[in-house]
């Protein structure tokens, strides 16, 4: 099974992205979906995005990308968190299906 | 990560986000937790990466900045009489009327990640937020944050490397 790669970014990569990344990982673990989740700073995103399948961000993503982008704010406030996690997992499942089919 | 009563303001009156950031930054500096460059660095970062968050209950802000401006990790808190506008983390064009400001002084993210996560997760704890908003003393604010952290002891694992000053 393809291992989906997700990058979670915030302003500096110091505080909120780490928290959001941990929480997101818990949802993937619960669904037993293998995943790589890394945290980072917004300024690294343009350089690193190519290596990931899904972008989750606490800040506004202004760079152009064809990858799915999600706001990480619900993972911080808890408000709409389950819905967000479900959407990200759905996107991940779609990517896994496509990649596994291609192999 | 220190939660020091000397870094807590209760029912503070402030006209702007900048004013309350300056006051909290001033306390952290006076108490030796940050360098004199900290407050300006927080203000500068707030322009590029704002930290206002609308929780279900109230507006909350977590101003912070790069680790180089910090001596020792700490949290400074202000509960406000009324609100000041912060810009929203996910959209700088949106203003969030904030009534609780939690300023984070982070020196070594890896060593404090667990306690930092616990502190940040207070955003999801409605009773704790209600308690903070109603608190009438720095001691009370500190107690509520500790109670919240304690309640998470099992949920967010600690690896023993973090230091939390009581």
User: pLDDT (tens digit, 9 = 90+) per residue, B9-63?
Assistant: 999 999 999 999 999 999 999 999 999 999 999 999 999 999 999 999 999 999 9
Cβ pair A14, B66 in contact under 8 A: yes
Write the residue in A12, A59, A76 that is nearest to B120 by C-beta: A76
Q: What CA–CA distances, in Å, run from B24 to B56, B110, B134?
A: 25, 24, 19
Write the residue in B109, B124, B156 that is nearest to A14 by C-beta: B109
Confidence of residue A13 (pLDDT cuts 50, 70, 90): confident
Q: pLDDT value at position B158? A: 47
pLDDT, tens digit, 9 for 90 and up, residues A84-100: 999 999 999 999 999 99
ipTM score here?
Answer: 0.86
Q: What string of H, E and C letters represents the secondary structure of B46-64?
A: HHHCCCEEECCCCEEECCE
- Length, in residues, of chain B: 166
Calpha distance A76→A103 (Å, rounded): 36
Residues 118-137 of B with CB under 8 A from A: 120-121, 123-124
How far B65 CA lies from chain A's nearest CA (Å)?
A: 8
Cβ pair A6, A35 in contact under 8 A: yes
Angle at the Cα of A76 (from A73 to A82), degrees rounded to 5? 80
Contact state of B48 with A14 under an 8 Å Cβ cutoff: no
Q: Centre a 10 Å sphere on the Cβ of residue A64 and count the other Cβ atoms it contains.
A: 7
| Packing angle of the helix pair A16-30, B109-120 (nearest 10 deg) | 70
Q: Can you give the pTM of this predicted structure?
A: 0.90
pLDDT of residue B130 exceeding 90, the answer is yes
**In which region does residue A32 sit, left (phi positive, over 0), alpha (psi from -120 to 50) or beta (all else)?**
left
Mean pLDDT value across residues B103-118: 86
In A3-78 the beta strands, taken as DSSP E runs, fall at 4-10, 35-41, 54-57, 69-71
Residues 59-118 of B with CB under 8 A from A: 62, 64-67, 89-92, 104, 106, 109, 113, 116-117
φ, ψ at A99 (rounded to 5°): -65, -40
Residues on chain B touching A76 (C-beta within 8 angstroms): 53, 89, 120, 123-124
């Amino acid at each position: 099974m393809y291992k989906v790669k997700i990058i979670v970014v915030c302003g500096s990569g110091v505080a909120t992205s780490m928290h959001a990344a941990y929480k997101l990982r818990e949802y993937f673990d619960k669904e037993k979906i293998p995943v790589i989740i890394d945290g980072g700073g917004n300024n690294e995103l343009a350089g690193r995005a190519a290596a990931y399948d899904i972008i989750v961000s606490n800040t506004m993503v202004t760079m152009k990308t064809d990858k799915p982008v999600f706001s990480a704010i619900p993972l911080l406030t808890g408000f709409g968190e389950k819905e967000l996690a479900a959407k990200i997992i759905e996107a991940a499942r779609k990517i896994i299906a496509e990649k596994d089919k291609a192999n | 990560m220190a939660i020091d009563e000397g870094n807590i303001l209760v029912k503070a009156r402030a006209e702007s986000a900048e004013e309350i950031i300056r006051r909290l930054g001033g306390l952290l500096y006076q108490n030796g937790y940050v360098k004199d460059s900290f407050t300006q660095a927080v203000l500068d970062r707030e322009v590029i990466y704002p930290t206002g968050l609308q929780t279900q209950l109230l507006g909350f802000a977590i101003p912070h900045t790069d680790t180089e401006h910090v001596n020792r990790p700490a949290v400074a808190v202000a509960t406000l009489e009324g609100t000041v506008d912060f810009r929203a983390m996910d959209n700088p064009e949106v203003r969030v009327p904030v009534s609780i400001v939690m300023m984070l002084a982070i020196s070594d993210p890896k060593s404090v990640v667990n306690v930092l996560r616990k502190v940040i997760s207070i955003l999801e704890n409605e009773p704790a937020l209600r308690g903070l908003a109603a608190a009438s003393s720095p001691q009370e604010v500190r107690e509520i944050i500790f109670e919240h952290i304690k309640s998470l002891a099992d949920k967010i694992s600690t690896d023993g490397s973090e230091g939390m000053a009581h």
